[in-house]
C-alpha cells in the first residue's frame, strides 16, 4: 500500500470524528428502542434512550450539515466522495482491478472506490437525518399537531435506510481494520 496521497484537512478530521460518534450512538441506541414502537417492554430506560436518540439525532443533523458545507468548500473532498468523472472514475476502476489482485487501494483523499463508498454512506446517513428531522417535528407532543400515523412513512423509510447505514458502519470498521493491519499509516486520519 502506498503512502497517503493527500492529507485530510483538520476540519474534515474533526467533523469525521463527531460524525462517527453520533452515528455510532444513534445506531446502537436504536437497537433497544424498537420495543417502544411495538408497545412491548416499555421501560423508563427505553423512553430515556428514545429521547436521547431524538436529540442526538438533531445534533447529528447539524454535524451532517457541517460535513456538506465542508464538501462544498473543498473540491478535493467533493471529488473524493463523488468520483464520477475523469481520473477519479479511473481510480475506481483501478481500485476494483487491484482488489481482484488482492491489493488494497491507497489511502488518502484521491477519489476511487473507498471515496465512492464513503459518499454512498454519507448519502444514506443524510437521508436518515432528513427523515429523522421530519419525524422529530411530526411526532405528537413535539411539533405540529400532526394526525396520528402521519409519521409512519418517514419512520419506515428511516428504518429502511438504517439497514444500509448498519452495513456501511460494519464495512467501514472492517476495511479500516484491514488497512491498518496492512499499513498503520491509515490511522493518521485520527491525529489532531
CB-based contact 8:110 (threshold 8 Å): no
Q: Is 93 exposed, middle or buried (0-12, 13-18, 19+ CB in 10 A)?
A: exposed
Query: Residue 190: its pLDDT value, please?
Result: 52
CA dist., res. 119 & res. 106, Å (int): 17
CB-based contact 106:78 (threshold 8 Å): no
Query: Residue 48: its pLDDT value, please?
Result: 83
**For each of the chain's 192 residues, which pLDDT tens digit applies?**
333 457 778 888 888 889 999 999 999 988 877 666 666 666 777 778 888 998 999 999 999 999 999 999 988 888 889 988 888 888 888 888 988 888 888 777 788 888 899 899 999 999 999 999 888 877 655 444 555 566 678 888 988 999 999 999 999 888 888 877 876 655 555 555
Domain boundaries, the chain: 10-187
Query: Residue 188: its pLDDT value, please?
Result: 55
Which CATH number is 10-187's, of 1.20.950.20, 3.40.190.10, 1.10.3720.10, 3.30.70.1530? Answer: 1.20.950.20
Query: Residue 62: its pLDDT value, please?
Result: 94
Residue among 28, 15, 21, 16 nearest 166 (CA) = 28
Query: Residue 1: its pLDDT value, please?
Result: 36
Name, in order, each residue with C-beta under 8 angstroms of 120's C-beta and a sequence gap of 6 or more: 168
SS (H, E, C) the chain: CCCCCCCCCHHHHHHHHHHHHHHHHHHHHHHHHHHHHCCCCCCHHHHHHHHHHHHHHHHHHHHHHHHHHHHHHCHHHHHHHCCCCHHHHHHHHHHHHHHHCCCCCCCCCCCCHHHHHHHHHHHHHHHHHHHHHHHHHHCCCCCCCCCCCCCHHHHHHHHHHHHHHHHHHHHHHHHHHHHHHHCHHHHHHHCC
Query: Residue 191: its pLDDT value, please?
Result: 53
Rg of the chain on CA atoms, in Å = 19
Amino acid at each position: 500500500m502506498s503512502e497517503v496521497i493527500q492529507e485530510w484537512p483538520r476540519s474534515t478530521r474533526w467533523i469525521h470524528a463527531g460524525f462517527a460518534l453520533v452515528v455510532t450512538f444513534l445506531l446502537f441506541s436504536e437497537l433497544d428502542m424498537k420495543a417502544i414502537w411495538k408497545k412491548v417492554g416499555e421501560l423508563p430506560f427505553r423512553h430515556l434512550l428514545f429521547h436521547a436518540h431524538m436529540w442526538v439525532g438533531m445534533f447529528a443533523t447539524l454535524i451532517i450539515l457541517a460535513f456538506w458545507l465542508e464538501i462544498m468548500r473543498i473540491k478535493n473532498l467533493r471529488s473524493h466522495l463523488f468520483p464520477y468523472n475523469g481520473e477519479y472514475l479511473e481510480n475506481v476502476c483501478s481500485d476494483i482491478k487491484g482488489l481482484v489482485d488482492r491489493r488494497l487501494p491507497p489511502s488518502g483523499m484521491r477519489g476511487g472506490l473507498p471515496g465512492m463508498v464513503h459518499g454512498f454512506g454519507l448519502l444514506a446517513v443524510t437521508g436518515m437525518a432528513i427523515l429523522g428531522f421530519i419525524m422529530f417535528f411530526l411526532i405528537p407532543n413535539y411539533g405540529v399537531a400532526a394526525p396520528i400515523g402521519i409519521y409512519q412513512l418517514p419512520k419506515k423509510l428511516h428504518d429502511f435506510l438504517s439497514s444500509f447505514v448498519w452495513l456501511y458502519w460494519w464495512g467501514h470498521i472492517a476495511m479500516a481494520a484491514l488497512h491498518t493491519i496492512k499499513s498503520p499509516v491509515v490511522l493518521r486520519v485520527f491525529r489532531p
